[in-house]
Amino acid sequence: MCGRYTLRTAPQEVAAQLDLFVPPPIGPRYNIAPSQQIGAVTAQLDTDGRAVRHWREFSWGLLPGWAESSAGTQRPINARSETAASKPTFREAFRRRRCLIPADGYYEWQATGREKQPYFFSLRDQPLFAFAGLYEHWEGPQGRDAGEVIDSCTILTTEANEMMREFHDRMPVILEPRDYGAWLDPTCEDADAVSPLCRSLPSERMQHWAVSQRVNSPKRDDAECLRRSEVRRLFD
């Protein structure tokens, strides 16, 4: 799964690697958590029929467009890539509303006795990467929700690679840069065409280390969250 991540990369670099015309209005974030506003890249066709990428803000936790109310409706932060195309909550978004969610690392926890030790995961060969995401637009239909508008998103997951299985049986879908265009393609509504992009990265491309338990609280968002812990590492 993916329940916390980081995005510390400079806006100019994010724009360059994700083909954005304007650098996004972001600063370094060390502990991005569910329900918070997060940045993502979407693509829409312009008047000449070209796919143009845009930076947008979403609430992390997908609220389906058909939900009757924003209150009490489950808002999943993750979706299984293997079944998202058939599940009512994600089906339309998988066909028509795919996005890139940029990150430069994410956290996972492992039980150590009575406590859970956080670990930070990143890529050895790619400082900035993008999760495969889905997004939705919801408008309050009536009553107390009338006039309320929520744009939300979720991160797709896939089967964990060998390294990640020591921590969890799932991991986020990290797309290859060469696949960004195909994933965002607003003309493609064929789930079977994009589903093969949702695969786990090989273990050898990833690295990880134990970090401070400061990251356990979503209220804490500073560089100390990434401070290496003295806990013995399980892998090199």
Domain boundaries, the chain: 5-226
Whether 236 shows a pLDDT value over 50: the answer reads: no
Token readout for 53 is: 């990428």
Active site residue 198: no
Spot the catalytic one: 2, 99, 153, 198. Answer: 2
Distance (Å, rounded) from C-alpha 84 to C-alpha 90?
A: 5
Instruction: Using pLDDT thresholds of 50, 70 and 90, give the confidence band for residue 234.
Output: very low
Range in 108-112, 152-156, 193-197, 230-234 with the lowest mean pLDDT: 230-234
Q: What is the pLDDT of residues 84-126, one digit of tens each?
A: 999 999 999 999 999 999 999 999 999 877 889 999 999 999 9
Give me the half-sphere count of Cα atoms (radius 13 Å) on the Cβ side of residue 139.
2
Given 3.40.50.720, 3.90.1680.10, 3.40.309.10, 3.30.70.600, which CATH number is that of 5-226?
3.90.1680.10
pLDDT band per the 50, 70, 90 thresholds, residue 57: very high
**The pTM is what?**
0.94
Q: What are phi and psi of 172, to 5 degrees?
A: -70, 150
Average pLDDT, the chain: 93
**pLDDT surpasses 90 at 143:** no
**Whether 153 is catalytic:** no
Out of 57, 92, 99, 108, pick the active-site residue.
108
